[in-house]
């Protein structure tokens, strides 16, 4: 009985992690090209799962999370890049960053912390707004981050990139972080804060009448969410080895939001499935753009097909399955399904839903 | 080990506090632009009583409940809880201080389970999920909805939906519970059923009930006192017998029917 209960609580994240592990395992058997796409997908999974912590549970769309990825990525790069290079190119950095060089784990923590701190300040200002107004404010935040990081030459290198970031992130490192993000996100969903936040998503007025401080629960989720996305940025930096502010802008925001929406905002399973499905669609379209040989002829789609194709997939899903591929449900094993009474089991009905 | 009874009606340590005996509106005025939704209304709901609030559509009943629960700031006048001023309190603060309410439109968390709907209010009040679930389940048992605990709230029958809404407001035994037309849209029989049950709440939970309801026969039967609003003004207040004999009330209601 106890084991069943414990398993039931963990079954969704464990199944998701298992699924992602299988994909990772198959992917690393492939060539360099496949491994690169795989790592990219796993890092995006960290980012999208991080976004889901806020967006999925609160129902407030955020266009600004890629901004937190940018903040996390740069913070991590400041920590790990060679001090000799920094002292020439990034003269505005504080002493401990300019002259020091720190190991990768510190960089990840730094990325998470800086993103979370910025989220506290931003969230304190905008989490009192209504949903739509808050969404627009997050978009303004994305633009501000982009313009600060593109122009603050002495700290970010401006439009010239930061280079020489140690490329320590491969498929398995990225997988480990994706698994961690999934566990954390599920723990949040199941927590007191997760429950209260989901209530505010369903009905904000009734949530207030139920003693819920809407501002506080939204802010808590926003900060946690930004921290996870900041980790995603740090991973991204240590995967590519190069950073430019413009890579954290509209097209990445579009892709990550599509991933959330395609899978279904309502569930963590949706976030994970969305990342995998959108990645496959994008990769197939990319391959077609590059051209594939059919006998003697080469078939290739015109450049730009990738974006158009993704847009079409998104539109079709919105039309035929507005709540996403998972319809907001979590992935479970039917025979472990809880019936009634999380606590009082003697009143369990014969048939549940 | 706690008994079923204490799970239902006691308030856990973190909420223990001197509980107000009265919830009072004092010369409350609410102005929406040029429209006076409420004009100088004063009333007092006492712990242990059922206080009826009646009046034709648009009389200002919901607006008054909004004032008494922090959803609407009075344009002038005050709301007092146990003699303390409540100005600036948010709705969640009112609930934490023991003033709970339901909504005319139900407003359940439709995609959450029945259990979660009730549990989340206890969590909002500071309990852990486990403790909140224990109490929510005990309350659902009392309401008679324990067998539906794991159902998605949006799939409930109308009458059950209303009961879940009341349970959500009753959890952790508030000092006052304000019910905005809990029987709206029900048949006479269903309405009588529900109100008969509501009538047991004050004794069981040692709380005061403010009840908005249009069915005169039902409301005359259960209320200790009744306050009549019309066009935002107080028309009368008194015991059911006094209200039934009040010429102004008779005129307003007869006028309405003709
Ligand atoms: N937010 C608002 N803005 C403007 N006018 C409002 C607002 N809320 C209520 N009113 C108006 O105030 C008056 C009182 O409305 P209220 O909802 O309090 O009446 P009620 O007695 O609850 O009616 P019913 O029996 O229909 O529920 C109505 O004329 C209504 O149109
Ligand atoms: Mg009303």
> Which of A195, A198, A205 comes nearest B107 by C-beta?
A205
Interchain contact, A353 vs B151, CB within 8 Å: yes
Residues of B in contact with A353 (CB under 8 A): 150-152, 155
Residue A208 near chain B (CB below 8 Å): yes
Which ligand has its closest atom nearest to the C-alpha of B37? 1
Structure tokens at A138: 């997050």
pLDDT value of residue B162: 95
Reported as a single tens digit per residue, the pLDDT across B160-191 is: 999 999 999 999 999 999 999 999 889 999 99
Instruction: Looking at the structure, give the CATH architecture of the domain made up of residues B22-252.
Output: 3-Layer(aba) Sandwich (3.40)
pLDDT > 90: percent of chain A: 65
Report CA dihedral (A150, A156, A158, A164) to the nearest 10 degrees. -120
pLDDT value of residue B248: 85
Mean pLDDT score, A158-180:
92
Closest CA to A129 of A185, A70, A61, A196: A61
Map chain B to HEC letters. CCCHHHHHHCCCHHHCCCCCCEEEEEEEEEEECCEEEEEEEEEEEECCCEEEEECCCCCCHHHHHHHHCCCCCCCEEEEEECCEECCCCCHHHHHHCCEEECCCCCCCCCCCEHHHHHHHHHHHCCCCHHHHHHHHHHHHHHHCCHHHCCCEHHHCCHHHHHHHHHHHHHCCCCCEEEEECCCCCCCHHHHHHHHHHHCCHHHHHCCEEEEECCCHHHHHHHCCEEEEEECCEEEEEECHHHHHHCHHHHHHHHHHHC
Mean pLDDT score, A128-147:
92
Residues of B in contact with A340 (CB under 8 A): 146-147, 149-150
Mean pLDDT score, B211-230:
93
pLDDT of B258 over the 50 cut: no
Residues 138 through 167 of chain B touching chain A, CB cutoff 8 Å: 138, 141, 146-152, 155
Mean pLDDT score, A271-296:
88
Mean pLDDT score, A69-83:
94
pLDDT of A353 over the 70 cut: no
A332 secondary structure, DSSP code: -
Mean pLDDT score, A110-115:
98
Reported as a single tens digit per residue, the pLDDT across A196-224 is: 999 999 999 999 999 999 999 999 999 99
- Among protein residues, the one with the nearest Cα to ligand 1's atom 22 is B62
> Best of B33, B56, B62, B103 to mutate for ligand 1, by most ligand atoms within 8 A of CB?
B62
Give the distance between the most distant pair of CA atoms in chain B.
Answer: 60
Q: pLDDT confidence of A231, banded at 50, 70, 90?
A: very high
Provide DSSP, A238-306: HHHS-B-GGGSSHHHHHHHHHHHHHH-TT-HHHHHHHHHHHHHHHHHHHHHHH-EEETTEEE-PPTTHH
In the numeric block, the tokens 């699924």 are attached to A19
How distant is the Cα of B104 from the closest Cα of chain A, in angstroms? 11
Residue A339 near chain B (CB below 8 Å): yes
pLDDT of B54 over the 90 cut: yes
Closest CA to B166 of B113, B134, B211: B211
Structure tokens at A266: 């309502």
pLDDT value of residue B13: 58
Contacts within 8 Å (CB) and 24+ apart, A216-220: A217/A193, A218/A54, A218/A58, A218/A60, A218/A123, A218/A127, A219/A120, A219/A123, A219/A124, A219/A127, A220/A193
pLDDT value of residue A86: 83
pLDDT of A350 over the 50 cut: no
Q: pLDDT confidence of B238, banded at 50, 70, 90?
A: very high
What distance in angstroms lies between residue B211's CA and the mean position of ligand 2's atoms?
11
A331 secondary structure, DSSP code: P
Cβ atoms of residues B139 and B4 within 8 Å: no
> Which of B71, B120, B130 comes nearest A210 by C-beta?
B120
Closest CA to A233 of A220, A222, A244, A223: A244
How do the domains of chain A map onto residue ranges? 8-249
Q: Is A304 exposed, middle or buried (0-12, 13-18, 19+ CB in 10 A)?
A: exposed
- The order of strands in the sheet holding B35-46 is B35-46, B22-32, B76-81, B84-85
How distant is the Cα of B98 from the closest Cα of chain A, in angstroms? 10
Mean pLDDT score, A244-260:
92
Least confidently predicted of A60-74, A244-258, A325-339, B38-52? A325-339
pLDDT value of residue A289: 84
Interchain contact, A210 vs B151, CB within 8 Å: no
Structure tokens at B215: 């069915």
| Nearby residues of A232 by Cβ (< 8 Å), 6 or more positions away | A43, A44, A46, A47, A50, A69, A72, A177, A181
Cβ atoms of residues B122 and B135 within 8 Å: yes
pLDDT value of residue B18: 54
Q: pLDDT confidence of B134, banded at 50, 70, 90?
A: very high
Structure tokens at B85: 């001023």
Mean pLDDT score, A321-329:
85
Residues of A in contact with B175 (CB under 8 A): none
DSSP H or E segment with residue A27: helix A2-29
Closest CA to B151 of B184, B179, B114, B180: B114
Interchain contact, A206 vs B103, CB within 8 Å: yes
pLDDT of A1 over the 80 cut: no
pLDDT of A341 over the 60 cut: no
> Which of B95, B123, B125 comes nearest A195 by C-beta?
B123
Closest CA to A162 of A244, A221, A230, A251: A244
Least confidently predicted of A97-111, A231-245, B68-82, B238-252? B238-252
Residues in contact with ligand 1 by the CB-under-6-Å rule are: B 32, 35, 37, 55, 57-63, 104
pLDDT value of residue A349: 39
Q: pLDDT confidence of A131, banded at 50, 70, 90?
A: confident
At A61, give phi and psi (nearest 5°). Answer: -70, 135
A323, A343, A346: best to mutate for the B interface, most B CBs within 10 A? A343
Q: Is B168 exposed, middle or buried (0-12, 13-18, 19+ CB in 10 A)?
A: buried
CB atoms within 10 A of CB B105: 14
């Amino acid at each position: 009985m106890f084991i069943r209960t414990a398993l039931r609580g963990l079954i969704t994240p464990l199944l998701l992690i298992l699924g992602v592990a299988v994909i990772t395992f198959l992917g690393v058997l492939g060539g360099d090209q496949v491994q690169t796409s795989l790592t990219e997908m796993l890092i995006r999974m960290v980012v999208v799962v991080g976004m889901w912590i806020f967006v999925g549970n609160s129902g407030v769309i955020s266009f600004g999370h890629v901004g937190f990825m940018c903040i996390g990525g740069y913070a991590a790069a400041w920590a790990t890049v060679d001090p000799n290079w920094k002292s020439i190119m990034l003269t505005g950095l504080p002493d401990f960053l300019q002259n020091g060089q720190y190991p990768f784990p510190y960089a990840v923590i730094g990325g998470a912390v800086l993103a979370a701190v910025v989220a506290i300040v931003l969230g304190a200002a905008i989490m009192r707004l209504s949903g739509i107004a808050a969404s627009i404010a997050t978009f303004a935040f994305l633009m501000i981050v982009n313009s600060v990081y593109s122009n603050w030459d002495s700290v970010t290198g401006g439009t010239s990139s930061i280079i020489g970031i140690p490329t320590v992130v491969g498929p398995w490192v990225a997988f480990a972080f994706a698994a961690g993000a999934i566990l954390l996100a599920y723990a949040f969903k199941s927590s007191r804060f997760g429950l209260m936040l989901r209530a505010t998503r369903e009905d904000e007025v009734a949530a207030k009448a139920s003693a819920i401080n809407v501002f506080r629960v939204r802010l808590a989720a926003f900060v946690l969410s930004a921290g996870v996305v900041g980790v995603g940025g740090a991973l991204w930096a240590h995967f590519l080895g190069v950073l430019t502010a413009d890579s954290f802008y509209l097209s990445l925001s579009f892709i990550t939001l599509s991933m959330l929406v395609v899978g279904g905002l309502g569930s963590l399973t949706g976030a994970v499935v969305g990342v995998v499905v959108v990645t496959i669609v994008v990769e197939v379209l990319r391959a077609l753009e590059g051209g594939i040989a059919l006998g003697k002829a080469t078939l290739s789609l015109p450049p730009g097909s990738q974006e158009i194709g993704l847009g079409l997939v998104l539109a079709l899903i919105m039309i035929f399955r507005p709540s996403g591929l998972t319809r907001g449900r979590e992935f479970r094993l039917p025979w472990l399904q809880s019936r009634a009474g999380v606590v009082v089991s003697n009143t369990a009905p014969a048939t549940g839903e | 080990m706690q008994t079923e009874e204490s799970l239902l009606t006691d308030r856990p340590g973190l909420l223990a506090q001197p509980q107000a005996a009265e919830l009072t509106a004092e010369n409350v005025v609410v102005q929406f632009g040029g429209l006076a939704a409420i004009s100088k209304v004063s009333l007092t709901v006492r712990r242990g009583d059922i206080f009826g609030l009646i009046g034709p559509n648009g009389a200002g009943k919901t607006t008054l409940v909004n004032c008494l629960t922090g959803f609407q700031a009075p344009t002038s006048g005050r709301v007092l809880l146990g003699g303390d001023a409540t100005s600036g309190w948010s709705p969640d603060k009112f609930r934490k201080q023991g003033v709970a309410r339901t909504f005319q439109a139900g407003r359940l968390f439709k995609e959450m389970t029945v259990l979660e709907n009730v549990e989340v209010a206890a969590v909002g009040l500071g309990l852990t999920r486990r403790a909140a679930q224990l109490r929510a389940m005990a309350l659902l048992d009392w309401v008679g909805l324990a067998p539906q605990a794991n159902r998605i709230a949006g799939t409930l029958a109308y009458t059950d939906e209303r009961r879940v809404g009341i349970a959500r407001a009753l959890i952790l035994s508030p000092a006052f519970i304000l019910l905005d037309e809990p029987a709206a849209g029900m048949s006479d029989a269903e309405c009588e059923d529900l109100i008969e049950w509501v009538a047991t709440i004050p004794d069981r939970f040692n709380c005061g009930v403010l009840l908005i309801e249009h069915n005169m026969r039902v409301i005359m039967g259960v209320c200790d006192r009744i306050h009549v609003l019309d066009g935002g003004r107080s028309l009368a207040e008194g015991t059911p017998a006094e209200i039934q004999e009040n010429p102004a009330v008779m005129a307003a209601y007869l006028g309405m029917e003709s």
